[in-house]
Amino acid sequence: MAVYSLKEINQAVRTDPKAFVEESDAAFQKKIESAAQKIAGHVHVSRVVLLSGPSGSGKTTTSRMIQAKLEQMGVKAHAVSMDNYFQTVDPETSPRNREGLIDYESPFCLDMNLLNQHFKLLDRGETIYIPKFDFARQMRSGIHSNPLRLGKDEIAIFEGIHALNDIITGKNPKAMKLYISARSSVADEAGSTVFKNTWLRLARRMVRDAKFRSWEPHVTMKMWSSVRRGEKLYISPFKDNADIQFDTSLPYEINVLKAYVLPFCEQLTPELERYEEIGQLLEAYPKFETLSEHYIAADSLLREFIGGGIYGQ
């Protein structure tokens, strides 16, 4: 976990934003390459890779970046979203949180039995049929994707918030395991934190929700408490199961997200739960220079949240 310097970030944005962005992306690509090399070296042990991280960590793009790097190395790879393994929501049997509401963050919303069965089949070189989940209707679709069968040196990367849960890793101990999160904060010259890593994930999610789900900012904030609770209960406790951990924050992204997040925050009102975080964002963002997304490459991790990327949604 790094601590970025507010002064250095702003100076880089003012003097040579193009070079700043390129250097930051190159550093992230080194993490991707390192992970891909370790995964490729593990293929003889298991052809299943499990990638986990909290909301807003960039799991989808990171898994596809690793997939692309593996294929550059001559290793065929397939990225699979574990969201497809959500079970049809049944009010009678779905897990509940302490308020008595359906706990959508719970790992028991996933079809763990099917997942574990699929991992075993893939490692044996057999064919699986990945389910599809219809989020609009909160139910599993009757439509299956193309069948997936791994060749001798092929790999499947399963990404999802619960990928490192003991329920999965306990039955798949040989799988290569990754944990990612945006973990870096930003400090001023006195060493005081001016931007926390959790605010960055909130900012990422707020922008992505607006762009790809057409959610108003208050909808994201309404869900944020449940998301954070779920992270503490179901995600963070299992990060030490990982063989590889790395930080997905980019030094320039707060400056890019500013143009989106600041207007969103200004729309929100104090009666919202966790509004104190909005107040902190409103206080922090004016300290950052604005950076145009024009400088952001199509293969940047940040494109998962602002759009226009080559890895899609």
Segment among 1-5, 24-28, 96-100, 223-227 with least mean pLDDT: 96-100
- Residue 278 tokens read as 């909005």
Please list, residue by residue across 79-95, b when 16 or more beta carbons sit within 10 angstroms of its beta carbon and e when fewer do: bbebebbbbeeeeeebe
DSSP reduced 3-state for 101: coil
| Edge-to-edge strands, sheet with 244-247 | 77-81, 155-159, 48-52, 176-181, 244-247
Residue type, 228: R
pLDDT band at residue 312, thresholds of 50, 70 and 90? Answer: low
- Model confidence at 97: pLDDT above 70: yes
Q: Tell me: the pLDDT tens digits for 12-21?
A: 999 999 999 9
Please give the Cα distance from 182 to 179 (Å, whole number). 11
**pLDDT given for residue 196 in this prediction:** 96
Ramachandran angles phi, psi of 84, nearest 5°: -65, -15
pLDDT band at residue 241, thresholds of 50, 70 and 90? Answer: very high
- Model confidence at 101: pLDDT above 90: no
**pLDDT given for residue 313 in this prediction:** 60
The percent of residues above 90 in pLDDT, for the chain, comes to 82
Between 52 and 213, where is the model more confident? Answer: 52
93-111: average pLDDT: 85
Nearest-5° Cα angle at 220, 216 to 224: 165
DSSP reduced 3-state for 270: coil
Look up the pTM and report it: 0.93
- Residue 119 tokens read as 């991992």
- Structural domains of the chain, ranges and CATH numbers in brackets: 3-306 (3.40.50.300)
- Model confidence at 102: pLDDT above 90: no
109-134: average pLDDT: 91
- Model confidence at 138: pLDDT above 80: no
Kindly state the helix (H) or strand (E) to which residue 247 belongs, with its residue range.
strand 244-247
- Residue 205 tokens read as 């999610």
Considering only CA atoms, which of 256, 303, 262 is closest in space to residue 279? 262
**pLDDT given for residue 80 in this prediction:** 94
- Model confidence at 24: pLDDT above 90: yes
CB 39 within 8 A of CB 70: yes
Segment among 47-56, 124-133, 169-178 with least mean pLDDT: 124-133
Q: What torsion, rounded to 10 degrees, do the Cα atoms 106, 107, 110, 113 define?
A: -140
- Model confidence at 9: pLDDT above 80: yes
64-85: average pLDDT: 95
136-159: average pLDDT: 83
Nearest-5° Cα angle at 208, 196 to 96: 80
Q: Tell me: the pLDDT tens digits for 155-164?
A: 999 999 999 9
Residues 6+ apart with CB under 8 A from 17: 252, 291, 292, 295
